[in-house]
A and B are shown apart, each in its own frame.
Chain A
């Protein structure tokens, strides 16, 4: 046997041994004295049959009632929707279908409808657009938030993002961008028809935009005085608008950039089919519903062309509950998920009893 195997590599020289010691040298070692100990285990939220089974039942027991609650609430919400695009020849608005932006006087049409049920609480009036890509990237970014926030330099020199709606005839557009340019400009008026008399229904146009938008995010340019016409001097109106921004409304606190219709429009919708809050109808007294069942007519100043891109326009009347408008999805989803959890809980319980008898727990011995 070869005892010298441990030095095979080094003793190849001549001469007496280039011996290396069996005396051990001290290598660099990290002593344990400096060793921080790993932290001790704490509360352990770990999946085991013992925790998962009750969790399934609890989820089931919580979700199903919530789902039922939401479902009932959703069903109690009154909602009425009219499509007034006028694509069908029979529709009163058919004549306006190919309207263009600058048609004066505006094409008007009236649609009569009947509410089967009365709308008890406050009613919210929406307009809805379909096939309108407010979420198109080119569209979404085509705005200048500093301009809308009242920044004077941006007012006269809008962001490049606004192209091709940035300047018109060498004047900066206020508000610039595609979003502002394409602002919805149909006018909707609602009448109640009671024995052939048309009673206009008061539509409130304030409170439709987010409070923070109206008071913080959107601001008119500042300067001497409050005369908006002067403040917007040097700018021009968006190409498609009939009137400049400072003539959107007669009331000064709803005019210019802080016009609520404008603010609502500027919040770009997430999906190509969307609705936007148009007006509020407040319940006047506690004895009468806001909108009684009966006949109504909707007067439309049809300015907004959607036919060219296959779009649809709707008017929606809806009441609102604590969980928003009519939305059966959430309730059904809750009930479904709750039931599934409950069902799974039962199945697992059976499995646990069937297979788990051999070992009472699946816990990890930690």
Chain B
């Protein structure tokens, strides 16, 4: 971890969750500063040709009135910058979310293992094996309540650990979960994929490949590595988790869980006593950042060095730092990013609100025989960077939990075989994501990323499956074209 990174506590590679709320103001300041800089420039240009004698008085007069005008338009500028910036980042989030969903849908369609229900999680004791709808409904509700309580418990546990500064425990927990995901679940995935495609494989190659894949994943997620690789790994593990959820939960339970989790998300993030909000605020007070293993970041994060330098190198692992963020679409746009800050309309004013932190659920998608730790927390946040330079870039961060549940929804929809439904759900989720980001730009505070998207997704799913599909089928059967 980063040497310069604050204190003794932050010895882990993973950064801890970061607050967000207070950061709202600094962003406006940055944006205003930038706006002011631009105005100043044009103002001096305006005064350039004026007569030198009265120049000082005139310029000061102009300056004063200019100030007022500037203040007013400064506000506009700030808003505009914020929205433009935000829009760019919406797009940056579309790609990874889409990729994750594609991986899940492709797997579900080609590898039947993930659609077959044989074993269930220990957390869902009611298996919906009766033919009666009512029994299924209460089974589903009971299962989702159990899962929710597990999640809530884990979240509270995480908060307690965090407040007591047991960073080592949290760090160990995270490492263990990523180890499990990267090795165990990937191994199972490869095994099923090979089996589905009937490809012979020997132990030697398999062991070698798994070893390389797993170790590289650990390095890149928890420590330092190329951004693209880290993003790819995070997308892959989110997809793996989603697949596990799809496989190991009974049918109706999956839908019930999605609905219940969205409500939980809303409560946990927005209510004053909500655990996630507490977590985020505590992190913010302590000026720490979030566990890198739980967030997908579109830009590179650096440690919020106590020294205040933009020294990224020593930081903790991947994304989660609330440090200088480099914009530039996350690809080394470094220098360009810095200079582009002023020039490009994008500006730094983007989103400053942090998003919501996801419950440390990850609960156990686990086999009955496997004994697992509940992986941690998925956080959705937007972070702000504090660099020593004036040009701050903001990247957008989305929690892995959101990736997972979006993919669960789309994957489940695709498991019924109908592409219309799958596409409808996909579009619904993206629309929800846009709306959430828009709200984020408006409210500038932590927002849960799940509720809107999942609600739209569920509505679209049920509507398409039960209304649109039969309608489209009937039309096609009778060769009526609308």
The judgment on whether A and B are partners is: no
A-side interface residues toward B, CB under 8 Å? none
